[in-house]
Amino acid sequence: MTDGLAEFQERQAIAAALEEIGSLLELKGENRFRVRAFRTAARALAGFGGSLRSGLEDGSLARTRGIGPVTLAIIAELLRTGRASLLDDLREEIPAGLVRLIEGAGLSVTRAQLIHERLGIETVEELEAAALDGRLAALPRFGAKTAAGIVKAIADRREASRYRLLHRALAEAETLRSALRQLPGVLRVEAAGEVRRSMEVVSELVMVIVTEDAHALERGLGPVAGARLVVATPATAGAALLTATGSDDHLRGLGERAAARGLALADGALTRGGTALPAPDETAVYAALDLPVIPPELREGRGEIELAARGTLPILVERGDLRGCLHCHTRASDGTNTIEQLAVASRKAGYQWLGITDHSQAAAYAGGLRPEQLLRQLEEIDRLNDELAGIRILKGIEADILQDGAIDYDDDLLARLDFVIGSVHSRFGMAADARAMTARILAAMDSPFLTILGHPTGRLLLSRDPYEVDLDAVIARAAERGVAIEINGDPHRLDLDWRHLARARAAGVAISIGADAHSLAGIGNVEFGLAMARKGGLAAGDVLNTLSADEFLAFARRRR
């Protein structure tokens, strides 16, 4: 094991320890801010460049956003001793069996304790068996419905444990890439697989390592948890990267096309009659198959090879095409920054305009704005537009779609806004009834003030399933009424699912990319929304953010 890889695995272990401390503190009912501090620190480690030990010595780790004095001390203790006294104490205080039940099935502490005491259950497997054979349903205040819900929760969490969200996978891949680049003889390292294809959830990191002496490097490499390492020479790097990136269906299609030309594409090589052909880059491989390069995001086996063969691949939207940043929350509701701070940050990020969308009054849990607060905010935006150069601030709101499909606030107030994002944030019980949820959303789109339907299926990746909703009906109504549909860039949402974007595009529905930013860092969520737009085959003309401010306002006013 090389020093770089050892450091990477040490970093993973420390991040896991911080996550565990956060979970155990949460089980104890500790202050949520303390719990969040440990989880934030764990995530911050993934994005920290360089060695943790060096960072501790030179102070750069202490200056890293998300790592405070308490978590820094625990990181130092883990680096020094391999243990954390706080974690040891928590493990002694909270029985491991309870932790497994709570984390493996999403049980409350009270329920986990009852199950543990009455049935002697300590593992998720034992809990699942008890739920299926009727023992769990027989406990006080449980019943068959609760037992069935626990079975589903176990299955969901078991499935979710196989994956990591895209933004976390990207951070881990970059850290691993930095470690691998330190190996002797390595020329370059590329992330491949699901990360390179911008899959919203990632099951495995795949890294392609290019070196002149592949055999020597392979002999020195040890296993890396959660990652697959592919070693290639400069002559085969293109074929290795391509085969390590594409989905099974994409590679199957390329393999059939190669066979029709007397070639074979497999095991990281392009061959003819068993002899490897030069494949230094992906362009050479696709050219041998009489194809242009297919963007990595599209390599899913969903007709992209046929489009490429016909020369009709879409020219995908790019970051440089985006002029506006939409869906940003300020500290007036549940954000952490002022309008001015968000505007300056957006200007620095290269945007020409910014759409402010705090929560509406029905979202009291999120500090939703009462009418008088919203009116004061509109005045503030007017003042800032007079004072700030290089950025234009648009007056918006993320208004709750109420149970009957009405848009929060009366029409007179909505008419004073430049645009409205409408989102479902409540009455999730309707989610099990596709007809009721569909009727609710369709009614909202009948409002002439609704500009964009926000996070339209309500999903939280690896956490909450999307609503049961008739998306065909939603897309059809959006096309009929001229309502845009959002790709919410929050990496926990990425909703609308990219798989539905082709239908929306074919129907003529405009798509917005929403940052759903609650901080300055949240402006960067646009990058994840952009990745989904590209994955769904969208061009610049399909995305509202590519319009000028005046063009966007004209789009919004067209409905009125």
Please say if the pLDDT value at position 254 is more than 70. yes
- Let me know whether 323 and 446 are in one domain: yes
Please say if the pLDDT value at position 451 is more than 70. yes
- Let me know whether 116 and 174 are in one domain: no
Which of 118-127, 220-229, 377-386 has the least mean pLDDT?
A: 220-229
Q: In this structure, how many other beta carbons lie within 10 angstroms of the beta carbon of residue 153? A: 18
Number of domains in the chain: 4
- Let me know whether 258 and 172 are in one domain: yes
Please say if the pLDDT value at position 12 is more than 90. no
Output the pLDDT for position 28. Answer: 81
Full domain range(s) for residue 241: 165-310
- Let me know whether 69 and 208 are in one domain: no
Residue range 230-247: mean pLDDT, rounded: 97
Tell me, what CATH number does 48's domain have? Answer: 1.10.150.110
Tell which of 66, 93, 120 closes a domain: 93
Output the pLDDT for position 109. Answer: 75
Please say if the pLDDT value at position 167 is more than 80. yes
Tell me, what CATH number does 419's domain have? Answer: 3.20.20.140
Output the pLDDT for position 430. Answer: 61
Sign of the alpha-carbon torsion through 356, 360, 363, 365: positive
**DSSP collapsed to 3 states, 207-276:** EEEEECCHHHHHHHCCCCCCEEEEEECCCCHHHHHHHHHCCHHHHHHHHHHHHCCCCEEECCEEEECCEE
Residue range 93-111: mean pLDDT, rounded: 81
Sign of the alpha-carbon torsion through 417, 422, 428, 430: positive
Give backbone dihedrals phi and psi of 151, rounded to 5 degrees, phi first: -60, -45
How much is the pTM?
A: 0.86
The β-bridge partners of 372 are: none
Task: Map tokens 């869906």 to a residue.
Answer: 327
Residue range 422-438: mean pLDDT, rounded: 81
Please say if the pLDDT value at position 431 is more than 70. no
Output the pLDDT for position 467. Answer: 87
- Let me know whether 82 and 172 are in one domain: no
Please say if the pLDDT value at position 416 is more than 60. yes
**Cα–Cα distance for residue pair 375/337, rounded to 1 Å:** 19
pLDDT band at residue 295 using 50, 70 and 90 as cut-offs: very high
Please say if the pLDDT value at position 398 is more than 60. yes
Output the pLDDT for position 151. Answer: 92
- Let me know whether 418 and 484 are in one domain: yes
Q: What's the residue count for the chain?
A: 560
Tell me, what CATH number does 111's domain have? Answer: 1.10.150.20
Tell which of 310, 344, 364 closes a domain: 310
Please say if the pLDDT value at position 123 is more than 70. yes
Structure tokens at 320: 């440089």
Please say if the pLDDT value at position 556 is more than 80. yes
Which of 79-83, 257-261, 475-479, 494-498 has the least mean pLDDT?
A: 79-83
Residue range 86-97: mean pLDDT, rounded: 86
Tell which of 310, 341, 359 closes a domain: 310
CB 25 within 8 A of CB 55: no
Task: Map tokens 């680049």 to a residue.
Answer: 181
**Cα–Cα distance for residue pair 227/213, rounded to 1 Å:** 21
Q: Per residue in 492-504, pLDDT tens? A: 999 999 999 999 9
Q: Per residue in 510-554, pLDDT tens? A: 999 999 999 999 999 999 999 999 999 999 999 999 999 999 999
- Let me know whether 124 and 244 are in one domain: no
- Let me know whether 234 and 87 are in one domain: no
Please say if the pLDDT value at position 5 is more than 90. no
Tell me, what CATH number does 255's domain have? Answer: 3.30.460.10
Residue range 47-57: mean pLDDT, rounded: 86
Please say if the pLDDT value at position 4 is more than 80. no
Determine the 3-state secondary structure of 422 from DSSP.
strand
Q: Per residue in 194-209, pLDDT tens? A: 999 999 999 999 999 9
Please say if the pLDDT value at position 240 is more than 80. yes
- Let me know whether 43 and 146 are in one domain: no
Task: Map tokens 């739920």 to a residue.
Answer: 131
- Let me know whether 42 and 174 are in one domain: no
Mean pLDDT, all residues of the chain: 93
Q: Per residue in 340-380, pLDDT tens? A: 999 999 999 999 999 999 999 999 989 999 999 999 999 99
- Let me know whether 47 and 82 are in one domain: yes
CB 229 within 8 A of CB 209: yes
- Let me know whether 100 and 88 are in one domain: no
Please say if the pLDDT value at position 111 is more than 60. yes
Residue range 200-224: mean pLDDT, rounded: 91
Q: In this structure, how many other beta carbons lie within 10 angstroms of the beta carbon of residue 456? A: 27
